[in-house]
Amino acid sequence: MDRLTVLYRRNNLAALAFLAPNLAGFLVFTSLPVLAAFGLSFFRWDLFSAPEFVGLANYFDLLGWHAEEGRTASNDPEFWQYLGNTLFLMLVIPLNMAGSMFLAIVLNQKLRCRVFFRTIFFLPTVCAGVGIMLLWKWIYDPDFGLLNNFLSLFGVEGLLWLQSYYWAKPALMIMTLWAGIGGTNMILYLAGLQTISPELFEAAEIDGAGAWSKFIHITYPMLMPTSFFIFITSMIAGFQGGFEMAYVMTQGGPAGSTTTVSYYIYDHAFRFFNMGYAAAIAVVLFVFVLLVTLVNWKYGGRKVQYV
Amino acid sequence: MNNSPRRRTTHALSYVFLTLVGVTMILPFYWMILTSLKSPAQGALDPTAWWPTVPWQLAETDIRNWPEFSHKLAAAGKAQEPSPAGKIWELLEEKPRQIFRDTSLKDPTPVRRGARPKPDQIVLESDKGIMRSALNAILQRPDFHDKTNFRAVELSGQALRLRDQFAGVNGDEPDRSVEQSGQLNYFNRLVLDASFPADIAPTHRFHWENYTTVIVETHFARVLFNSVFITLVVTAGMVLTSSLAAFAFARLNFRGRDKIFLGYLATMMIPSAVTMIPVFVLVRQLGWANSYAGLIIPVMFTAYGTFMLRQFFMGVPADLEEAALLDGCSLWGIYRHVVMPLSKPALAALTILTFMSVWRSFMWPLIVTHTRDMYTLPVALAAFREMYGVQWHLMMTGSVIMIVPMLLVFIFGQRYFIEGIRLGGVKG
């Protein structure tokens, strides 16, 4: 890299020419909007009348609390419920990671139809989107869906799935697992597994290690960098996720049980036209993501071992 | 590589396990395609039909031998005893009755090639359509199934269930709603098939017309066009601008290069919900709401493409560029003739990943568009329910239409897809 740095003489103008299209679009549609969102959160605006400066009122309405009948009640209890929903849905992340890791380990053996299986497992990820969500909505149909008919063979009847307050979120999690377990995570783990030198395993076998022991002491630690990366990206995605699922499959769910924070933002911005309030929620979400990422970085960075 | 029994059992178990997982992955897809090919009545009535069975209308090929069938009907019409054939004869209108009677009297023989058809042969061929419509019309009548006439007929379990629904069992209220939903037609068809097992061969019909229905119905063809157009333009624009910027970051030397790139990286962490609202406001002010510009331009500039290509460019050996520079090649020349041709795998990967990502993107098109003719495929699918009610077979058809292009791109570009994941390490 140093050699090239010397070869390519410092040329700001040329660089600008190359960068300009991407940078311009990037500034206009990504960087500046972030600042604009911060600014917007200090206003109350419904797109049609003039915006009204309200300072921190939006944040207070969102995060604060007030006295009510002698006890404290939060100003926006729905926000906390939806935040809880989002966090609950994120519980699928460790399950997904464990499942992907397991599948990768099984697929890493010298089996004959490896590529075939890998392709099949990848299909749900490839096709992910509204089409698949409608399919699962149909599968979860209480009367005519595939799942209930399958379960009735074993005598389990009458589950309401997406129409049930308690089962809606697990139902969405099952769908997320199906759609993600053989996907990019598994591919990343497969790539990671192939970097583990077989000598380590041979040495362990000579020392008399069993399968579980080999996993705990060799495979799992060596996959740590990959796991760490997957974990962080999944967390970031998890916080902002759930919008499509909520919109297409449950419209927010029975009594708000499947509304996530991003769906809430959409509701306030594009249904109730509270632009400022929606921006405030988005900023709070951003802060959450930032905090979680920083904590993970600090804490998790120590756990990542390189041999 | 030892081939110990233990290894063999592990392998065997692995195959079983992988097959089970594979079946779980494939089964919903099969179910989706199957539902898309069913008729409305069938989709609702028989969720466990793993293969389309009795179609609810008669096709020409369903009757094994039209003359013989007409013969039976005409004869039964004259007889006194109640019978299924007699009931059908009774319900036929005047013109079809004529035709059945005429055909039953004659004995048409097949036309020899080149020979001139005789009058009775012409009647049979051209009037099959009339006979078929007449029979299908009868299938829609609630009074077709009459216990007196069909007493001796053995009905399948499904038909019995439906009959109980119509008639009301054990003092229950008869369920008349089934007449409206097309289930009556289906039921009558079941009765017809049970009454004439030798004459009627139910063809296993896949309702391909569902696909034409969905595409031709209001605006869906336009929606398809929108998705294709937007996806192609965004992909082209994204790859072009990202590669230019990545070249600048990877090779060129300029003030603030690393700081700006850090800025790019940082934005990958920002939730899309944060930028969505201000960008929407901006798009609206620019007059791009509900337009192609609004759908294409804001989406073209993500940091991901630049990041991934920069990674790749930095890994390209510098020898060729060194030689080109020494020969006095311009920067643009190096970009175009040296770096880009060497980066085909990464470019292919980025193209494919971008294609998939734009094809399935939902939130932004939902926000920007508000008339049906500007919807993209995912948005149109989500709005389907409001337009057509809960018709699962049509919705599954829409889902299949949405998924097929992604499957094709994946099948042909599988190698680049996997490569792209390794390069960028981020979900598409």
Best residue in B13, B37, B181, B270 for a mutation probing chain A (most A CBs within 10 Å): B270
* A274 at interface of B, judged by CB pairs closer than 8 A: no
In a domain, B50, yes or no: no
The answer on B375 and B285 residing in a single domain is yes
* Residues written for chain B: 428
In a domain, B51, yes or no: no
The answer on B217 and B201 residing in a single domain is no
* A58 at interface of B, judged by CB pairs closer than 8 A: no
Confidence of residue A222 (pLDDT cuts 50, 70, 90): confident
Contacting residues for A12 by C-beta, under 8 A, at least 6 apart: B254, B255
* B425 at interface of A, judged by CB pairs closer than 8 A: yes
Average pLDDT over residues B354-381: 91
The answer on B290 and B175 residing in a single domain is no
Confidence of residue B24 (pLDDT cuts 50, 70, 90): very high
φ and ψ at B339, to 5 degrees? Answer: -70, -45
In a domain, B43, yes or no: no
Contacting residues for B109 by C-beta, under 8 A, at least 6 apart: B121
Instruction: Out of B186, B205, B224, pick the residue that ends a domain.
Output: B205
* A28 at interface of B, judged by CB pairs closer than 8 A: yes
| CA B415 to chain CA centroid, nearest Å | 25
φ and ψ at B285, to 5 degrees? Answer: -65, -35
Q: Which residue of B has its CA nearest to A24?
A: B301
The answer on B199 and B229 residing in a single domain is no
The answer on B148 and B104 residing in a single domain is yes
Average pLDDT over residues B21-40: 86
The answer on B218 and B201 residing in a single domain is no
Q: Which residue of B has its CA nearest to A185?
A: B427
Q: How far apart are CA A273 and CA A265, in angstroms?
A: 10
Mind telling me how many Å the CA of A68 is from chain B's nearest CA?
32
Q: Which residue of A has its CA nearest to B383?
A: A248
**What's chain B look like in SS3?**
CCCCHHHHHHHHHHHHHHHHHHHHHHHHHHHHHHHHCCCHHHHHHCCCCCCCCCCCCCCHHHECCHHHHHHHHHHHHHCCCCCHHHHHHHHCCHHHHHHHHHHHHCCCCCCCCCCCCCHHHHHHHHHHHHHHHHHHHHHCCCCCCCCCCCCCCCCCHHHHHHHHHHHCCCCCCCCCHHHHCCHHHHHHHHHHHHHCCCCECCCCCCCCHHHHHHHHCCCHHHHHHHHHHHHHHHHHHHHHHHHHHHHHHHCCCCCCHHHHHHHHHHHCCCCHHHHHHHHHHHHHHCCCCCCHHHHHHHHCCCHHHHHHHHHHHHHCCCHHHHHHHHCCCCHHHHHHHHHHHHCHHHHHHHHHHHHHHHHCCCHHHHHHCCCHHHCCHHHHHHHHHHHHCCCHHHHHHHHHHHHHHHHHHHHHHHHHHHHHHHHHCCCC
Q: How far apart are CA A296 and CA A189, in angstroms?
A: 20
CB B71 within 8 A of CB B105: no
**pTM attached to this predicted model:** 0.79
pLDDT of residue B312: 84
Q: Which residue of A has its CA nearest to B317?
A: A1
User: Higher pLDDT residue, A147 or A299?
Assistant: A147
Question: How many other C-beta atoms can be found within 10 angstroms of the C-beta atom of residue B85?
Answer: 20
Q: The tokens of B21 are what?
A: 């997982």
pLDDT of residue A1: 46
In a domain, B41, yes or no: no
In a domain, B235, yes or no: yes
The answer on B191 and B246 residing in a single domain is no
Mind telling me how many Å the CA of B160 is from chain A's nearest CA?
19
| Structural domains counted in chain B | 3
CATH code: domain of residue B217: 1.10.3720.10
Give the tens place of pLDDT for each residue, B134-172: 888 888 787 777 777 777 777 777 777 777 777 766 666
Asked if A7's CB is within 8 angstroms of B321's CB, the reply is yes
What is this model's ipTM?
0.87
Check whether B109 has a pLDDT greater than 70: no
The answer on B338 and B195 residing in a single domain is no
Instruction: Out of B205, B227, B251, pick the residue that ends a domain.
Output: B205
Asked if B366's CB is within 8 angstroms of A33's CB, the reply is no
Q: Domains of chain A (ranges plus CATH)?
A: 81-303 (1.10.3720.10)
The answer on B86 and B180 residing in a single domain is yes
CB A225 within 8 A of CB A193: no
In a domain, B414, yes or no: yes
Query: Percent of chain A beyond pLDDT 90?
Result: 29
In a domain, B46, yes or no: no
- Which of B53-57, B149-153, B323-327 is modeled with the greatest confidence? B323-327
Which of B119-123, B288-292, B349-353 shows the lowest mean pLDDT across its residues?
B119-123
* B307 at interface of A, judged by CB pairs closer than 8 A: no
Restricting to B residues 39-78, those with a Cβ less than 8 Å away from any Cβ of A are 43-44, 47-48
pLDDT of residue A307: 41
Q: Which domain holds residue B345?
A: 213-424
